Structure 1
Amino acid sequence: MRQLVRTAPAALPAVLRAPLAMTAALATAILVALGILHFRDSGLTGIDAALLPSIYGVEPPWRYVALVVDFGGEPVGSVILIALLSGVCWLARRVRTAVLTVAGVVVTVALTTVLKPLVGRTIHGEFLSYPSGHTALATALALIIALLLTERWGLGRAAAMAVVLGLALVAGLVMGWAEVALGAHYPTDAVGGFCAALAAVPATAWVVDRVADRL
Structure 2
Amino acid sequence: MFWLIAGAMFAAIEALGLIVSGDSSITAAETNAVVAVNGFHAPVLDAIALTIDVVFGPRFAVLVTVLAVVVAGLIGRSWWTALRIAILIAIPWAAADIIKVIIQRPRPDMTLLAHPLLVEPTSFSYPSGHTAFATALGMSAVVTLAGWRYRAAAVVVATVVALTTAWSRMYLGAHYPSDMLGSLLLVPVWSLCLGMITRNSRLLQPRPREEEVAARDRVAHSGMTTEDS
Give TM-score, length-normalised by structure 1. 0.72
Task: Tell me which residue corresponds to 1:138.
Answer: 134
Residue among 13, 16, 19 paired with 1:34: 16
- Partners of 1:90 and 1:135 lie apart in 2 by 25
The answer to whether residue 44 in structure 2 is matched with residue 54 in structure 1 is: no
Distance 1:50 1:172, change over 3 A: farther
Residue among 88, 107, 120 paired with 1:123: 107
Tell me which structure has the larger Cα radius of gyration: 2
Question: What does residue range 1-215 of structure 1 map to in structure 2 within 5 Å?
Answer: 31-41=13-23, 44-46=27-29, 48-49=30-31, 51-56=33-38, 58-92=41-75, 93-124=77-108, 127-149=123-145, 151=146, 154-155=147-148, 160=151, 163=153, 165-209=155-199, 210=201, 211-213=203-205
Structure 1 unpaired stretches of 5+: 1-17
| Higher relative contact order, chain-length normalized (CA < 8 Å, sep 6+) | 1
Structure 2 unpaired stretches of 5+: 110-121, 208-229
Question: How large is the Cα RMSD of the aligned pairs?
Answer: 3.3
- Partners of 2:68 and 2:106 lie apart in 1 by 32
Q: Describe the superposition over 1:190-215 as per-residue Cα deviations: whole angstroms up to 9, x where unpaired.
A: 11111221122122223333143377
Local SS of the residue matching 1:178: helix
Distance 1:94 1:196, change over 3 A: farther
- Partners of 1:90 and 1:119 lie apart in 2 by 36
- Partners of 2:189 and 2:103 lie apart in 1 by 17
Q: Is the 8 A contact 1:82 1:102 kept in 2?
A: yes
Give TM-score, length-normalised by structure 2. 0.68
Local SS of the residue matching 1:61: helix
